Chains A and B, each alone.
Chain A
Amino acid sequence: MARLHEYQGKNLLRQAGVGVPAGKVVKSAEDAVSTVSDLGESVVLKAQVWTTSRAAQGGIRFADGPEDVAPIARELLGLKLGGFPVDRLLVEQKVEIAREMFLSIYVDDSVSRPVLLFAPIGGSGIEEILGSSPDKVVRRELSMLKSFRGHEARSIVRQAGFRGKRLLAVSSVLVKAVKLFRSCEARSLEINPLVETRDGRVLALDCRIAVDDYAVFRHPELGIEIARELSRPPSRLDRIAYDVEKNDYRGTFYFIEFDDDDDRPRIAFHGAGGGGSMMSMDAAKNEGFCLANFTDTSGNPPASKVYRAARIMLAQSNIVGYFGSGSGVASQEQYNSARGLVKAFLETPLTVPAVVRLGGNCEDEAVELLEVYTSHLPVPVEGYKSDDSAAECAQRLRELVDHPDRWPLPGPKPRENEAELVVNYGFDTVTGGRVDFDHDRCFRCPEAVCITACRPGILTLVDGVPRLKITPREAARGKCTECLACEQECFFRGENAVCITLPIPGLDT
């Protein structure tokens, strides 16, 4: 769920016609002070971070007059609440509360419908109160096919004990909130408290909206940068990884960096498939490892996506090992993952031992590729198959990390320093990458291994050198699947005449 800040939610509520206190978002104490001229002397300053019980953590403070506002704003802007540094405040007019209420609309998976909860009491700690006295809450399942009607809202509010004009004012908020819930495709929308003021207005004093990650693409107006749940602000690598995923629809690449800080050995964790990844993460933790990140590449991703994932993971500091493990019996062809890892391990290059469980379709080919093409690295890279469990593989990595003295000796280097490639042919790929050839070297190659290895079969021999048998435009639109086979086979079995460049914006610069 992509979470919106209180002020963003309140903007949406205001646009939807729900009353909210007059307020302004500020990023400095000076700006906070200047709001007083608009908002009046008595204001409330609220830290804009997504965390529960902000008030109890000191993130909500009242102030009277400019002299009072400045120091409080300064204090709040220096805070860190629930892992999030406070970088902006919502300054609002103080409201005289006559009564607090609670409104929540959320997707309930047990009934596959939105559910609305309304209670005539509200405020902090309301969840516990409502939990112990459920009779105070009115609950309604909502239809997705019909719009939510005024009479339905009035029925709910009446049931909660309201009459007359107050019933009318509150029920109209319900109708507008449900409409907003639907229009921004929220997973949840909560107003706690919804208040009646002493002067008879109904206002949303707080607002939490979480938008469905998978719907963010059709809501550019919400300005959501990263549609991911995180318990802290996104890190540099989180952002880089998110962009990779956004720009390549093939398969899934999910990445979150952890900030676990302890003295256990830290490893890069590369899962495959949601369930298998979580299980493998548990296995790694059982071996006493601390995870630098959680990564999942699955759903048949191309080799290029796995390569980018691995490069991003290897950019993490202080890791002592690389653990790759999924369900163990993947439906996808595993040579794509192997190729991606090989390219990342050679280019980085890898300086820690790696244990990768590649069980699934074509596992024999995948493990052979992974092990043979990395055998010259000074660190061990071991591939495992479906009959090796995640627990055994985690154990093996622990052994390699703890005992460098038991590492096997590296194999011979495949090539010594060669002159640079003279590029005279090439084409673009679908993710902004480039496949380049040195055709002078290709002339010397008797095998044309690039052509036989090419998975989509888009290369052919023309006048003794490999060329596309489709148009460069077709290649760039996805006919070149970025399987990486031409480059690797040419490097190890040909003349080292191919170079594939796959940019990762933000990582290399």
Chain B
Amino acid sequence: MSILVDEKTRVLVQGITGREGRVRTRLMLDYGTHVLCGTTPGKGGGEVHGLPVYDTVEEAVEFHGAFDASVIYVPAPLVKEAALEAIAAGVRLLVLVPDRVPIHDVLEIAEEARQVGAEFIGPNTLGVLSPGKAVLGMMGGRADAARRWFLPGRVGVCSRSGGITSAIGYYLSKKGIGLSTMVHVGGDAVVGFSHPSALQAFEADPDTDVIVMFGEIGTSQEERAAKLMANGTVTKPVVAFIGGASAQKGTRFSHAGAIVEGDRGSHESKVQALSEAGACVVSKFDDLPTAVQAVVDAL
């Protein structure tokens, strides 16, 4: 098993005819993701990589039946509209790839999703990849690279940085440690599927033994993840690294979520909360693979 996505997940791509939509649909198909079709309002009737294009998600559902997931590649100001359309058509897992989605739009998506029990990953995410099974989004960039970089196995990865998700997957695989699923929860201040969600999903996944988490300054995700460990909701071992040790307060470091506001979200508060909850927090990123190896060996 894995979390969120596998080779059976039935996938729709919204914004499939755009620059990124086309390229990343190629990646997903080449990697083995079960992509059935795409949508772009106004481009219905066309084709991309042999897949039919529809004007609306509703129409796509009429032709193909229900979808498990939709990957969204529309411009940031249109993400809300696309996400709400997918939710209305019954899709229960959304991957919001674009960067710079307005935060009030994200809050609206969150509220509608909550009402019907849908999940969304992102925004500002590379997506999610279950090695050897499927990828949603753009993780790996090219299928051949994704196959070479990420080996299947029993370690789950969640990260607030896309590049670091790939880096962790790559360095662990190079050490011979395989991965169940890697999920980039997104770099924004408010995300749907967050670190706490990922920890709970990995906890419930019988094929994940160890969880690796890359956190960052800003937001409350790591502190909430620590709470889940402390109260016994998450019992699997967690190895973590928190970026931004030398970042000063009140300045945003490119990710919209990476800002320390007042005393909230500081590097120290996260390291302390996670350490106290029993996570193995490494202070150097390069030590991560060795630390994970030690935890895997001790199982």
Residues of A within 8 A of B (CB): 1, 107, 109-110, 112-114, 127, 143-145, 182, 185, 187, 212-215, 217-218, 228-231, 249, 252, 254, 256, 271-279, 281-282, 285, 294, 296, 298-300, 326-333, 360-361, 386-387, 389-391
In the complex, the 5 A-B pairs of residues with the closest C-beta atoms, listed nearest first? A275-B161, A327-B163, A273-B163, A331-B141, A274-B255
> Which residues of A have CB within 8 Å of B206?
none
Cβ of B21 within 8 Å of any chain A Cβ, yes or no, is no
Q: Which of B181-233 contact A (CB under 8 A)?
A: 187, 189-192, 194, 214, 216-217, 219-221, 224
> Which residues of B have CB within 8 Å of A113?
107, 110-111
Give the complex CA separation of A109 and B216 in angstroms.
14
> Which residues of B have CB within 8 Å of A127?
262
Give the complex CA separation of A281 and B247 in angstroms.
8
Max chain A Cβ within 10 angstroms of own Cβ: one of B20, B164, B216: B164
Residues of B within 8 A of A (CB): 20, 75-77, 99-104, 106-108, 110-112, 114, 126, 138-142, 145, 149, 159-164, 166-167, 169-171, 174, 187, 189-192, 194, 214, 216-217, 219-221, 224, 243-259, 262, 284-286
Contact of B163 among A185, A187, A328 (CB under 8 A): A328
Whether the Cβ atoms of A360 and B253 lie closer than 8 Å is no
Give the complex CA separation of A386 and B258 in angstroms.
24
Can you list 30 A-B contacts (CB < 8 A)? A107-B103, A109-B191, A112-B110, A113-B111, A143-B111, A144-B110, A215-B103, A218-B102, A229-B259, A231-B249, A272-B163, A273-B161, A275-B160, A275-B255, A276-B164, A278-B161, A278-B216, A279-B164, A279-B243, A282-B246, A294-B254, A327-B166, A327-B167, A329-B166, A329-B167, A329-B169, A331-B140, A386-B170, A391-B284, A391-B285
Give the complex CA separation of A420 and B156 in angstroms.
58
Whether the Cβ atoms of B254 and A107 lie closer than 8 Å is no
Whether the Cβ atoms of B258 and A278 lie closer than 8 Å is yes
How many A-B Cβ pairs are below 8 Å? 182
Whether the Cβ atoms of A229 and B250 lie closer than 8 Å is yes
Contact of A276 among B99, B126, B161, B245 (CB under 8 A): B161
Contact of B190 among A107, A278, A327 (CB under 8 A): A107
Tell whether A391 pairs with B251 under 8 Å between CB atoms, given A145-B112, A275-B214. no
Give the complex CA separation of A441 and B114 in angstroms.
64
Whether the Cβ atoms of B170 and A329 lie closer than 8 Å is yes
Whether the Cβ atoms of A231 and B111 lie closer than 8 Å is no
Whether the Cβ atoms of A214 and B251 lie closer than 8 Å is no
Tell whether A228 pairs with B161 under 8 Å between CB atoms, given A107-B189, A327-B167, A361-B145. no
Give the complex CA separation of A294 and B258 in angstroms.
13
Give the complex CA separation of A109 and B77 in angstroms.
20
Seed contacts A214-B102, A229-B252, A275-B243; 13 additional CB < 8 Å A-B pairs? A1-B259, A109-B189, A112-B111, A214-B100, A274-B255, A275-B159, A278-B161, A278-B243, A278-B253, A282-B243, A327-B161, A331-B141, A360-B141
